[in-house]
Structure 1
Amino acid sequence: MTRALIFPGQGSQSVGMGRELAEAFGAAREVFDEVNDALGQNLSKLMWEGPQDDLTLTENAQPAIMAVSLAVTRTLEREGGFRLADKAAFVAGHSLGEYSALAAAGTFSIADTARLLKRRGQAMQRAVPVGEGAMAALLGLDFDQAAEVAAEAAQGPNGKEVCTAANDNGGGQVVVSGTKAAVERAIEIAKTKGAKRSMLLPVSAPFHCPLMQPAADEMAEALGAVELKAPSVPLVANVTASKVADPATIRDLLVKQVTGMVRWRESVLYMEEQGVTSYVEVGAGKALSGMVKRIAKEPEITAVGTPADVEAFLKSV
């Protein structure tokens, strides 16, 4: 059995996330304390007590989701002697989850990861004024059909607006991102192309599209000031859907990821081609588990996010 560890992205946040881990394991508490110290913010209090609206803010949700993933990872290491290099062939993450994956594999320190994600969230929010951008999920179209819808929607009455495929999540789920009017047009066009359902997503900015270029420029500066080590296992990168281990290349791909598409369907297919049969979703929620089920052939999928999950997983390995 060949295993990959996968790390969730934005949308997995909920009030109470990580609290049981912190109560059960000292290793998890350490991670939450490190993140709080790095940010100069009591992020764990916000995670455990809310309010949900503040937790959902991009600048809080991104480091919070990472913190839960790394709390699980460190607990597996400390409680069960789980060594990533011995137990997995790849790591991968969905959007911000790529930073969690790299922190788990030792490329970044947890403190640097928290600060990078805080800045990433702030930079993404600054890039486009609230209300000017949007994202929508198109369900029931394959990727090529969804890309055609986005291209048609971008040809707006005011000349060319922005609407591009942002997340190829597999199983007939493609997210488009761009100018609000163009994304709303995409929803209407998708209906005429046979989409089962299309809906605006409750996000505060149009991620993974060219409108995010100011945020990409800011992340290039931020990543240039941080030390990156080679990961203990290769990363399957969002923007290339193939493995990478060179720190300079990883830095470049993380910058491109801000405006580039999350090629999740292709990433899972790549891992499957490399012999991966077992996927372990590390952290909050089970969103990626559902995606993998729709993409891979008969995968073995485990979600590890609670103390009970940790104990059951350690018994299985």
Structure 2
Amino acid sequence: MTKTAWVFPGQGSQSLGMGMDLLDLPSAKEKFARSENILGWSVIEICQTNEEKLSRTLYTQPCLYVVESILADILQEKYSPDLVAGHSLGEYVALYVAGVFDWSDGLRLVKHRAALMDNAAGGMMVALINFDREKLEKAIDENPDAVLANDNSPTQVVISGTPEAVHAVISQVNAKRALPLKVSGAFHSPLMAEVAAEFQHMLDSVEFQQAKMPVLSNVEPVPSTDADILKQRLRQQMTGGVRWREIALALPDHEIERVVEIGPGNVLTGLIKRTSSGLILENVRSVAELPAN
């Protein structure tokens, strides 16, 4: 039988209208209603009509968690994955699917994380496309206030840090494209240490269970089902880098042949395609893309 990994995208993959084809399903209606009680606002309303709010961290992250988890629940009625992973916010959906915490606890964590990150300031993030990796590593070594926040693929990374340090790295690397990200702070960098410390209190209040299947974490792309290890890795995620390129490279090493990206867009399957060859790549972005049986 084909070994399958499910992967879940993070912030940046959201799109207006996402999840709205789920509204006719009773199980989805129940989750949307429960999310409104936890969040104090309507995921449906924002995903349907409010593009400006949907692009703001405070709303983006909970909306993605709700929509991706509902799609995963429906898919899990048909079969379960052999391994899961998620990109940044997507790791919370992966942990939920693996049974590490219940759905409501996961949404409360995401709500708190989103609020803290939305209030972060004093840094920036820039995506670099087509660059010399050796020059990049040297530039980051020479600019300690900039870090490799997202190592997405051999040709795409995100730099995070103080504006001065990030601009210094860009000037030394000569990337084909440098795209500033519309985020409030320097996510996945040491500049988030204060925010991460505040978030830890919330994280410590949630009980983690042993995972039902291995999880590849952002900060340590080695599969684990251990509750304590997975919680410790999540603690490190806010200040640590997303090692997605290494996650993609690890998939064939663990006999994964098929990867299903669950959620809006196709960012992760695109990154995996550029990193690991020979994998079957599929997307489940909507009800229409769910398997019939």
Q: TM-score, normalised by structure 1?
A: 0.88
**Structure-2 residue corresponding to 1:183:** 166
One-letter code aligned to 2:150 = N
Q: Give the gaps of 5 or more residues in structure 2.
A: none
Residue by residue over 1:248-303, the C-alpha shift from the partner in whole angstroms, topping out at 9 and shown as x without a partner, is 11111101011001000101111211111100001111110111110111211111
1:4 lines up with 2:5 in the alignment: yes
Q: Separation in 1 of the partners of 2:236 and 2:133?
A: 20
SS at match of 2:260: strand
Instruction: Flag the 1:48–1:112 CA change in 2: closer, same or farther, 3 A.
Output: same
Q: Confirm whether residue 207 of structure 1 aligns to residue 198 of structure 2.
A: no
Contact map agreement 1:240 1:263 (CA 8 A) in 2: yes
Amino acid at match of 1:67: V
- CA–CA distance in structure 1, aligned partners of residues 75 and 221 of structure 2: 27
Deviation at 1:89, TM superposition (A): 1.6
Residue deviations 1:146-174, cap 9 Å, x none? 2322233x2xxxxx6x1010000013111
Matched-pair contact (CA < 8 Å) for 1:143–1:168 = no
CA offset at residue 142 of structure 1? Answer: 5.3
Secondary structure, counterpart of 1:243 in structure 2: coil
Match of 2:240 in 1: 260
Specify the SS of the correspondent of 2:150: strand
Q: Which residue of 2 aligns with 1:65?
A: 64
Report the Cα distance in structure 2 between the residues aligned to 1:309 and 1:168, rounded to whole angstroms: 29
Equivalence for 2:220: 240
Alpha-carbon shift at residue 61 of structure 1 (Å): 0.6
Within 5 Å, give how 1:263-278 maps onto structure 2: 263-278=243-258
1:76 and 2:75 are equivalent in the alignment? yes
Over 3 Å counting, the alpha-carbon distance change for 1:143 and 1:220 in structure 2 is: farther
Match of 1:27 in 2: 27
| Superposed CA offset, 1:87-138 (max 9, x none) | x221000001000111112112111111111111122233x42xx2111111
Deviation digits for residues 222-252 of structure 1, max 9, x if unmatched?
1110121112111001111111111111111
- Equivalent residue letter for 1:208: H
Distance 2:137 2:292 in 1: 42
The answer as to whether partners of 2:87 and 2:218 remain within 8 angstroms in 1 is yes
Q: C-alpha separation between the residues in 2 aligned to 1:142 and 1:82?
A: 44
Distance 1:314 1:167 in 2: 35
Paired residues, what number?
Answer: 292
Q: Distance in 1 between matches of 2:20 and 2:75?
A: 16
Partner of 2:276 in structure 1? 296
Tell me how far 1:65 sits from its aligned partner.
0.6
Residue identity opposite 2:22 in structure 1: L
Is the counterpart of residue 167 in structure 1 residue 150 in structure 2? yes
The equivalent of 2:53 in structure 1 is 54
Determine the C-alpha separation between the residues in 2 that align with 1:100 and 1:296: 23
Please report how far the alpha carbon of residue 27 of structure 1 lies from its aligned counterpart in structure 2 after TM superposition: 2.1
Note the aligned Cα RMSD (angstroms): 1.5
Residue 314 of structure 1 deviates from its aligned partner by 4.0
Aligned to 1:113: 106
2:217–2:233: 8 Å Cα contact kept in structure 1?
Answer: yes
Aligned to 1:92: 85
CA change 1:307–1:46 in 2 (3 A) is same
* Contact map agreement 2:56 2:118 (CA 8 A) in 1: no
TM-score (norm 2): 0.95
Following TM superposition, by how much is the alpha carbon of 1:144 offset from its aligned partner in structure 2, in angstroms?
4.3
Residue in structure 2 matched with residue 137 of structure 1 by the alignment: 127
Please say if residues 170 and 295 of structure 1, whose CA atoms lie closer than 8 Å, have aligned partners that are also in contact. Answer: yes
Q: Which residue of 2 aligns with 1:41?
A: 41
Which has the larger displacement, 201-210 or 39-48?
Answer: 39-48
- Label 1:287 to 1:148 Cα distance change in 2 as closer, same or farther (>3 A): same
Question: SS in structure 2 opposite 1:297?
Answer: coil
In 2, the alpha carbon distance for the partners of 1:39 and 1:231 equals: 26
